[in-house]
Amino acid sequence: MTTEVIIQQLRGLITRIRLIVFFQTAADCMLFYSFFRLLMSGATVQIFTTDFDRNTAMLLIFMLAMIDLCFSGIRRNYKRSGFDLINQLSGDLDQDEAAVVTKFGRMK
């Protein structure tokens, strides 16, 4: 692949990682909120304006945790793909290309 194609793909990966980080943050917030509501409740748990019994609420929290874990795996695969692309780069990079590589390296 040419340097231009690799840089274009890195820019796309940066955008997708930002989107995944946003969704993972939302899933984390829902998970913590649900867990807090479970700890502070009695026999029924009200999560997202819906009443659940404790077992169903624990199942909901488990599913939110699995969604969060999936987002982590997707983000890790995007990072791995990006580092593979960076390893394919050869030669000197101009300032814009080096900035994209540096920006990708700083991504979570």
HSE of 16, CA atoms in CB hemisphere, 13 A: 16
Distance CA 25, CA 27 (A): 5
Q: How many CB atoms lie within 10 A of CB 87?
A: 9
Give residue-wise pLDDT tens across range 10-47.
Answer: 999 999 999 999 999 999 999 999 999 999 888 888 88
Distance CA 39, CA 33 (A): 10
Q: Please report where in the chains the tokens 């580092």 appear, as a residue.
A: 83
Q: Please report where in the chains the tokens 């900035």 appear, as a residue.
A: 99
| Domain edges within the chain | 3-91
pTM for the predicted model, two decimal places: 0.82
